[in-house]
Structure 1
Amino acid sequence: MYFMWHPKHILISWIFLAGCNWSSTDTSKKQPVDGTQSVIWLVCEDQSLFLPIYGDSTALMPNLCSLADDGTIYDKFFAVAPVCAPSRSSIITGVQPALMGTQHMRAFQANKVGLNQHTGLPFYSAPAPPGTRSFTEYLREAGVFCTNNSKEDYNFETPPLAWDESSSDAHWRERSDGQPFFSVFNFNVTHESQIWKRQETSCQISHDSVPVPLLIPRENAVRKDIAVNYCNLEELDRQIGKVIDELKEDGLYESTTVVFFSGHGGPFPRFKRSPTDAGLRVPLVIKWGHVKDVPSRNAGLFSFLDLAPSVLRWFNVQREISLSGMPILPDSRGHEAVYASTDRLDEHLNRRRTIRTTNWRLIRNDFQDRPAGINIAYRKQMNTMKVIDSLAQDGIEPWISWKSKPLSKWELYNSSEDEWELENLHLNPLFADTLVYLQNLLFHAFPPGQDLGNFDEKKLIESFKQKVASEELTLPTLTQKGRSFIISHENPNVSIGWRTKREDAWNVASRGAEINIAEGITEVEVLVTRIGWKSKTQVLNIIN
Structure 2
Amino acid sequence: MRLSSGLRHWISVGVLLVASPLHANPLHASATAESNAEKSRPNILMIVAEDMSPRVGVYGDALAKTPSIDRLAKEGVIYTNMHTISGVCAPSRSSLVTGVYATSMGTHQMRTSQGRLSETITGYEAVPPPEVKAFPELLRAGGYSTANWAKKDYQFGEPFTLWDVDDGGFWGPIEAALWRRLPDDKPWFVMMNLVSTHESYLVVPGDYPKQWAPFTNILLKERKRTTIAITDPNAVSVPPYLVDSAETRASIAQHYDNIAFMDTQLQSILEALVEDGLDDNTIVIFTTDHGDPFPRAKRAIYDSGTHVPFIIRYPSGEGAGTVETRLTSFVDIAPTVMRWAGLTPPGFIQGQDLVTTAPRKYLFAGRDRMDQVQDRARSVRDERFKLIQNFMSDAPYFRPLVFRDMFPSMQSLWQAQASGQLTEKQAFYFQASRPNYELYDLKADPHEINNLAGKPDYGKELNRLIAALEDWYEQVGDRADVSEREMVFEMWQGESQPETAPPRAKVETLEAGAKAVSLSATTDGASISYKKNSDSWQIYTRPVRLEKTDTLLAKAIRYGYKESEEIAVPTDN
TM-score for the superposition, normalised by structure 2? 0.84
Q: Pick the aligned partner of 1:515 from 544, 561, 569.
A: 544
Structure in which a larger fraction of residues adopt helix: 2
In the alignment, structure 1 residue 494 sits paired with structure 2 residue 526: yes
CA contact (8 A) 2:241 2:426 kept: no
SS at match of 2:250: helix
1:366 counterpart residue number: 391
In the alignment, structure 1 residue 312 sits paired with structure 2 residue 338: yes
Q: Pick the aligned partner of 2:491 from 454, 464, 486.
A: 464
**Pair 310,319 (structure 1): closer, same or farther in 2 beyond 3 Å:** closer
CA contact (8 A) 2:531 2:553 kept: yes
In the alignment, structure 1 residue 101 sits paired with structure 2 residue 129: no
**Pair 184,499 (structure 1): closer, same or farther in 2 beyond 3 Å:** same
2:128 counterpart residue number: 128
**Pair 181,471 (structure 1): closer, same or farther in 2 beyond 3 Å:** closer
1:3 counterpart residue number: none
2:571 counterpart residue number: 542
Identity of aligned residues (%): 27
**Pair 380,117 (structure 1): closer, same or farther in 2 beyond 3 Å:** farther
1:255 counterpart residue number: 281
Cα offset for 1:400? 2.9
In the alignment, structure 1 residue 217 sits paired with structure 2 residue 243: yes
SS at match of 2:490: helix
* 1:497-520 deviation line (CA, Å, top 9, x unaligned): 1113413x421111xx23233563
Q: What is the CA–CA distance in structure 1 between the aligned matches of 2:500 and 2:165, rounded to whole Å?
A: 28
In the alignment, structure 1 residue 173 sits paired with structure 2 residue 180: yes
Amino acid at match of 1:514: P
SS at match of 1:254: helix
Deviation above 6 Å: which 4+ runs of structure 1?
A: 117-120, 467-472
1:73 counterpart residue number: 78
Moved more, 115-124 or 191-200: 115-124
Cα offset for 1:475? 2.5
**Pair 290,502 (structure 1): closer, same or farther in 2 beyond 3 Å:** farther
Query: Within 5 A, what are the aligned runs for 1:383-422?
Result: 383-395=408-420, 396-397=422-423, 398-422=425-449
**Pair 34,304 (structure 1): closer, same or farther in 2 beyond 3 Å:** farther
**Pair 187,269 (structure 1): closer, same or farther in 2 beyond 3 Å:** same
Moved more, 426-435 or 233-242: 426-435
**Pair 317,432 (structure 1): closer, same or farther in 2 beyond 3 Å:** same
1:5 counterpart residue number: none
SS at match of 1:349: coil
CA contact (8 A) 1:34 1:316 kept: no
1:150 counterpart residue number: 150
SS at match of 2:569: strand
1:235 counterpart residue number: 261
Q: What is the CA–CA distance in structure 2 between the aligned matches of 1:28 and 1:417, rounded to whole Å?
A: 46
Q: What is the CA–CA distance in structure 2 between the aligned matches of 1:116 and 1:54, rounded to whole Å?
A: 41
2:315 counterpart residue number: 289
Q: What is the CA–CA distance in structure 1 between the aligned matches of 2:120 and 2:469, rounded to whole Å?
A: 32
**Pair 43,188 (structure 1): closer, same or farther in 2 beyond 3 Å:** same
Q: What is the CA–CA distance in structure 2 between the aligned matches of 1:412 and 1:420, rounded to whole Å?
A: 12
* 1:430-484 deviation line (CA, Å, top 9, x unaligned): 2212111111111122249931112212222222221688996452233233243
Cα offset for 1:384? 0.9
TM-score for the superposition, normalised by structure 1? 0.88
Q: Pick the aligned partner of 2:556 from 507, 515, 528.
A: 528
Amino acid at match of 2:103: A
* 1:20-67 deviation line (CA, Å, top 9, x unaligned): xx9937559424547642010110000012111111121211111110
Cα offset for 1:212? 2.0
Q: What is the CA–CA distance in structure 1 between the aligned matches of 2:448 and 2:508, rounded to whole Å?
A: 63
1:7 counterpart residue number: none
Cα offset for 1:294? 5.0
Moved more, 242-251 or 475-484: 475-484
Amino acid at match of 2:187: P
Cα offset for 1:290? 5.5
| Unmatched runs of 5 consecutive residues or more in structure 2 | 1-23, 169-174, 204-218
2:508 counterpart residue number: 480
How many residues are aligned here? 513
Q: What is the CA–CA distance in structure 2 between the aligned matches of 1:126 and 1:23, rounded to whole Å?
A: 21
Q: What is the CA–CA distance in structure 2 between the aligned matches of 1:410 and 1:336, rounded to whole Å?
A: 20
SS at match of 1:348: coil
1:266 counterpart residue number: 292
Q: What is the CA–CA distance in structure 2 between the aligned matches of 1:304 and 1:178, rounded to whole Å?
A: 30
Q: What is the CA–CA distance in structure 2 between the aligned matches of 1:35 and 1:326, rounded to whole Å?
A: 24
Q: What is the CA–CA distance in structure 1 between the aligned matches of 2:331 and 2:401, rounded to whole Å?
A: 27
Query: Within 5 A, what are the aligned runs for 1:419-430?
Result: 419-430=446-457
CA contact (8 A) 1:35 1:314 kept: no
CA contact (8 A) 2:76 2:319 kept: no
Q: What is the CA–CA distance in structure 2 between the aligned matches of 1:474 and 1:541, rounded to whole Å?
A: 14
**Pair 420,449 (structure 1): closer, same or farther in 2 beyond 3 Å:** closer
In the alignment, structure 1 residue 452 sits paired with structure 2 residue 457: no
Cα offset for 1:360? 1.2
CA contact (8 A) 2:78 2:310 kept: yes
1:18 counterpart residue number: none
SS at match of 2:572: coil
CA contact (8 A) 2:99 2:330 kept: yes
Amino acid at match of 2:525: N
Amino acid at match of 1:426: A
CA contact (8 A) 2:164 2:182 kept: no
Cα offset for 1:526? 1.2
**Pair 126,192 (structure 1): closer, same or farther in 2 beyond 3 Å:** same
1:439 counterpart residue number: 466
In the alignment, structure 1 residue 30 sits paired with structure 2 residue 56: no
